Amino acid sequence: MSVLKTSEVLAVPEEPTSRPVGMSIPQAAIEYGISESTLYALANRMALPGARRLGRRIVVHRPTVEKWLCVGMGQ
């Protein structure tokens, strides 16, 4: 019978549980149930917290948008 060392028992690979910090407008629309056109309009007016234009693409910072939705900033 083999005895396992503590380091062998604790060496369990972690499964990826974290989501990416950034997401696209279409991803945000699906995830939060808001239309893409509304999110694009807000982002283009610079009224969508956490939205940044990178070239032609708009990337949304997930934690900022989630806080905005929970707290209701900008009402």
Task: Indicate whether 50 belongs to any domain.
Answer: yes
- Over residues 10-30, the pLDDT tens digits come to 555 555 567 789 999 999 999
Q: Is the pTM of this model over 0.85?
A: no
Number of domains in the chain: 1
Torsion 39-44-46-47 (CA) sign: negative
Task: Indicate whether 5 belongs to any domain.
Answer: no
Cβ contact 65:25 at 8 Å: no
Low-confidence ranges of the chain (pLDDT < 70): 1-17, 73-75
- The CATH number covering residue 60 comes to 3.90.105
Structural domain boundaries enclosing 27? 20-71
